[in-house]
Amino acid sequence: MRVLIVEDELYLAEAIRDGLRLEAIAADLAGDGDTALELLERNDYDVAVLDRDIPGPSGDEVARRMVERGLRTRILMLTAADRIDDKASGFELGADDYLTKPFLLRELVLRLRALARRAPAARPPVLEFAGLRLDPFRREVYRDGRYVALSRKQFAVLEVLLDARGGVVSAETLLERAWDENADPFTNAVRITISSLRKRLGDPWLIHTEPGVGYRVGPAGTRPADEGAAPDGSGTGGTAR
């Protein structure tokens, strides 16, 4: 899951971003409306957390332009204004949810998870496929009833793969959906994470490599001969967090 945090209070924005990372949610930051619109044009986000009072185009204006452009990104308005009229105007602009400052990070996480589940195509609150069960709200993974402890990044990658329900997901898509904008596109972080994720899930392997295409979750099989190799066969590059 990937979100955009539009907040001009840097310390608050960074605290939110760091807290979301602990919940396996990748987050990018924008301190003003112009930067937010640029990032929204360039990246695919599940949810945008919009502070209404920001420099440049306001949060309201950003929301209006998002709706005009037909973006699928859900909008969560974040503001200190708690009057019902303020909330009503935000919903009229296209907001999907509203959170008043001050707030608990846990509540923000729950709201983000709920919004991501609702769009662009409805998805169940718990993902189950090929014997795996992933609960984004509890951040728990089970394989055939056995609890599997995963790192935050392993969890984020598995969530993207399970959401595809057996479809092939490219390394580029995984990098986009499970990492933030600072990830190096030439990194081998995806390959390394997939390799460690396979080991955590155990034998027989459930994550398969489609050479030259990407990765997919499927019926249990033997250890792939190319385990540790990138889908394009390169297997080179640095690492990213």
| Cβ-contact 86, 60 below 8 angstroms | no
Q: What's the predicted TM-score (pTM) here? A: 0.63
CA distances to 185, 187, 189 from 240, in Å: 9, 6, 5
Percent of the chain having pLDDT more than 70? Answer: 83
Question: For residue range 127-180, what is the model confidence (pLDDT) as tens digits?
Answer: 899 999 998 878 899 999 999 999 999 999 999 999 888 999 999 889 888 887
CA 210/CA 231 separation, integer angstroms = 6
Strand partners, 214: 210
Question: For residue range 66-103, what is the model confidence (pLDDT) as tens digits?
Answer: 888 878 889 998 877 666 766 677 677 778 888 888 88
Mean pLDDT of the chain: 84
Residue 202 has pLDDT above 70, yes or no: yes
**Close Cβ partners of 50 (under 8 Å, ≥ 6 residues apart):** 6, 36, 59, 62, 63, 75, 76, 77, 78, 95
CA 65/CA 198 separation, integer angstroms = 42
**What residue type is 142 in one-letter code?**
Y
pLDDT value of position 120: 54
pLDDT value of position 241: 45
Burial of 6 (0-12, 13-18, 19+ CB in 10 A): buried
Q: What CATH number should be reported for the domain whose range is 127-221?
A: 1.10.10.10
Fold topology of 2-118? Rossmann fold (3.40.50)
**What residue type is 7 in one-letter code?**
E
Residue 240 has pLDDT above 60, yes or no: no
